[in-house]
Amino acid sequence: MKLPFKTYHRLIPVLTLLLLILAAGVQAQERAVTIPEGSFHSVLPEVEGEPHQIDAFKLDTTAVTNGEYLQFLKANPEWRRSQISPLFAGSDYLRHWEEDLRIGDKESPDQPVTRVSWFAANAYCGWQGGRLPTLNEWEFAAQAMDFENSTEANRFSSELIGWYSAVDTNSKSEVGSTGIENQYGVKDLFGLIMEWVEDFNPPVADDISLDCGTVGRMQGDPTVYSYAMSIRYITRMSFKPKSTTGMLGFRCAYDMSANEKEI
């Protein structure tokens, strides 16, 4: 059965939008790298014994940029600053941009987008055919660092603790600029911004509170690196899904396809 010409004409914008979404998703995943399956130990106090098992997945090499997020807003007007529901973001959502679709001169298109809520980050990753990485996936990727010796590892961790203690939300460099890269080519997991994960506020014991003493209690492995990791966990636990701070951005993860798993 043939459709009337008017019907075809009306379908063109819809089909065009679908093709753009599919193309954006394919392009995004081309920039991601594969993180192979493995395991790691968490710093959470209730996790004991067997390490967390992580299935292979893909992860963006860099955080999502202002320029990339702008394209998302053009295609999804409901997530623009003037239109987003207060249920999904705090009042500071993208407040550093000049307008809905104008980043402005104070921000670079290649800087990581910040002041986005967990809801908005989820929506963006879904638009790209992905999702936010789970907490364990992000931490597994973060542990895949190469150090020549323990001295170098401790030096890096000490610098990391200092950065977590005073994240400069007003001065961000462009993505890929930190020089920090894990074994698989994932950049800027440290030293640029904090990043949303799917389960950013994991369940912990009832007597855990967000204070300095908690850090020590969470620290299972008495190393400088695990101490830095503990600070990161606790910082995440202070966020709410609507949080929109200058330190918070994100990157996306992607499930492996059946064909990729067989390779």
User: In CATH, what number is assigned to the domain containing residue 65?
Assistant: 3.90.1580
Instruction: Give the Å distances, CA to CA, from 248 to 34, 61, 68, 157.
Output: 24, 17, 16, 20
Among candidate residues 120, 118, 114, 89, the one with its CA nearest the CA of residue 170 = 114
- Whether 255 is in a domain gets the answer yes
Q: Which domain holds residue 42?
A: 31-262
Asked if residue 229 belongs to a domain, the reply is: yes
Contacts 24+ apart (CB under 8 A), 10-14: none
Reduced to 3 states (helix: H, G, I; strand: E, B; else coil), residue 40 is strand
Which helix (H) or strand (E) is 234 found in, with range?
helix 224-237
Residue 157 half-sphere exposure toward CB, CA atoms < 13 A: 21
Q: Is residue 222 situated within a structural domain?
A: yes
In order along its 263 residues, the chain shows pLDDT tens digits of 554 555 545 545 544 444 444 444 445 556 899 999 999 877 765 455 678 899 999 999 999 999 999 999 999 999 999 999 999 999 999 999 999 999 998 899 999 999 999 999 999 999 999 999 999 999 999 989 888 888 888 888 888 888 887 776 666 799 999 999 999 999 999 999 999 999 988 765 555 554 555 555 555 555 667 778 888 888 888 899 999 999 999 999 999 876 666 55
Q: How many domains does the chain have?
A: 1
The answer as to whether 11 is a domain residue is no
Residue 70 covered by a domain: yes
- Does some domain include residue 231? yes
Is residue 35 in a domain? Answer: yes
| 183 touches 145 (CB < 8 A) | yes
In a domain, 166, yes or no: yes
